[in-house]
Chain A
Amino acid sequence: GQSLEQPSEVTAVEGAIVQINCTYQTSGFYGLSWYQQHDGGAPTFLSYNALDGLEETGRFSSFLSRSDSYGYLLLQELQMKDSASYFCAVKRIKAAGNKLTFGGGTRVLVKP
């Protein structure tokens, strides 16, 4: 089977840095994605890692270590609008149609 573990909730202040860890167990791992979802909104794509290392996109960075079955999303210079749920999601090899399996989500609350 598959499992993805991520913390359920993180609280931080504006301007801080938050790291959301995601550990996964799956066969045929292909890549790890991150999605953001505001309350009442649709999930939106943030980043994707298929190879080990760090991917940076503005204030957000994502890291993957395939040997450790571990990744993280780094949110820098936190802003109030970053309050949302963040999901890691695994793409498996031979999964038709880019099937994704989502982790339970991490609710990030940014305080003034």
Chain B
Amino acid sequence: DTEVTQTPKHLVMGMTNKKSLKCEQHMGHRAMYWYKQKAKKPPELMFVYSYEKLSINESVPSRFSPECPNSSLLNLHLHALQPEDSALYLCASSQEGPYNEQFFGPGTRLTVL
């Protein structure tokens, strides 16, 4: 199984809502990532989890809260988002080590009204 799955595919939320994005992989990868991607732009790293611990937070606003319940799951909790947070949110995973390719999920298209 070389797949990263993400749910939901699309999400529309108001600025006062609380929602969560979910990501799952069963490749035994111990590094997992959240990226944000705006149209016609590259993915921007948000968070990195290594062995279920947060190892990198790229100065992301606190309205985004990541969680790694176990080695296969990664969540991104959303609260009080702004319209400019509308984007494609990508999850990825990889083996740990000097270099290993990242496997990306299909993403969640988020619209904040």
Q: What residues make up the interface of A, taking CB atoms closer than 8 Å to B?
A: 30-31, 33, 41-45, 48, 50, 87, 91, 96-105, 107
Contacts and interface: CB of A to CB of B under 8 A. Distances in A.
Interface residues of B, number: 29
B111 interface: no
Nearest to A98: B94
A92 to B, nearest CB: 11
Contacts of B97: 98
Contact of A43 (B31, B43, B45, B100): B43
Smallest CB-CB A-B distances: 5 pairs: A102-B42, A97-B48, A45-B101, A42-B104, A97-B31
Nearest to A96: B55
A48 B99 contact: yes
B56 A43 contact: no
Nearest to B101: A45
B48 A96 contact: yes
Contacts of B44: 102
Most buried by B among A42, A43, A96, A101: A42
B106 A42 contact: yes
A41 B43 CA distance: 12
B90 A99 contact: no
Contacts of B107: 42
A107 B42 CA distance: 11
